[in-house]
Copies of this chain bind each other. A is one copy, B any other.
């Protein structure tokens, strides 16, 4: 058993865990299946009412896990009745046995929920390359179906059951109206290590009682992901298992909307985006070893995608991240990270701020720069690094955390 199971809670954790309201048509239960951990829950079962529609986005890894392959295929028939998530074993790079484990999990879950196997969604997180013994789900999932509850305690337990090296559970909720009908959106996430753009969370599950056709749901999810999970990075490493699923039960009974750009959907879209951003930021705030939450904002780039690549180059730079950990306003490393991004940049037009303190302008140190003022910014738990390239109108914003000895400790001993 790894000591990493009980690291101290991140200093960036929210002061209180939100109470999630029920989402009509969603019931949750957790269990201890003994996948890998002992003495903690490691299975989440979510029962979904008939009529639920799923959308999903996944890792861009060329070596995805068996559950990712399964979910991609299951989305071909977007009706969803069960979600099964386990922690402790990612069932990734497990070959034929991995595919068999997923198939067996689906059979057991379909039997428990009395639904077709194609309505089962599966996600796994934990070590890679170890066979997952899906027979451990036998009995467990049927029992979960019998016990599943819609209340806030069930949501809280759900967020805990999917944790691996996370130090706090990640939950968020929003409400919105679609053409006058109130709807609820609840989400949970787990992150911690192996977090990088191209789906930055390992796992996140979002549930709403809104009634929305699958193409609309998929479009809203993909769009929201681009501004949330794809803007967060911990270590630049991309998981084989990254999965974000959005389930809509339709129980709110709102008016049918067939176009994702329909203005009647704007409040729902805003609420969903906001929830995804909150969950993505929680992932960065629980980056392995994180002591500081870092916002990197880039303006004046030639285009938004160029700004995004420069922001990620800064946010992924080990030298920038260790400087933040050391509370060192080392803007020279920010220049380095801009330079290595390979995007259009003109050294002599660059300006750089830490918080509100401009430290560099026009290709050199700001003559008015106060080391004391910059140092005060760096001592805060939330640090903003801003770069203006002075070239155009492109902008981007990404979130990350610092790189500390805690990251090394956690990852130098994860499997032992």
Which residues of A line the B interface, CB within 8 A? 59-64, 90, 92-98, 127-131, 193-194, 196, 198, 235-240, 316-319, 322-323, 325-326, 328, 330-333, 335-345, 347-348, 350, 360, 362-365, 403-405, 407-409, 411-416
Q: How far is the CB of A127 from chain B (nearest CB, A)?
A: 6
The reply to whether A364 and B97 contact each other, CB–CB distance below 8 Å, is yes
The reply to whether A319 and B130 contact each other, CB–CB distance below 8 Å, is no
The reply to whether B235 and A319 contact each other, CB–CB distance below 8 Å, is yes
The reply to whether A128 and B335 contact each other, CB–CB distance below 8 Å, is yes
Q: What residues of chain B lie closer than 8 Å to A62, measured between beta carbons?
A: 338-345, 347
Q: What residues of chain B lie closer than 8 Å to A333, measured between beta carbons?
A: 128, 237
The reply to whether B336 and A63 contact each other, CB–CB distance below 8 Å, is yes
The reply to whether A61 and B96 contact each other, CB–CB distance below 8 Å, is no
- Given contacts A129-B332, A336-B63, A339-B240, are A322 and B93 in contact (CB under 8 A)? no
Q: How far is the CA of A198 from the CA of B342 in the complex (A)?
A: 11
For the complex of A and B, list the 6 residue pairs with the smallest distance between their C-beta atoms, beginning with the closest.
A128-B332, A326-B412, A95-B364, A63-B339, A61-B339, A238-B340
- How many chain copies does the complex carry? 2
Q: What residues of chain B lie closer than 8 Å to A331, measured between beta carbons?
A: 129
Q: How far is the CA of A413 from the CA of B326 in the complex (A)?
A: 6
- Given contacts A240-B339, A328-B413, A411-B318, are A94 and B364 in contact (CB under 8 A)? yes
Q: What residues of chain B lie closer than 8 Å to A332, measured between beta carbons?
A: 90, 92-93, 127-130
The reply to whether A408 and B322 contact each other, CB–CB distance below 8 Å, is yes
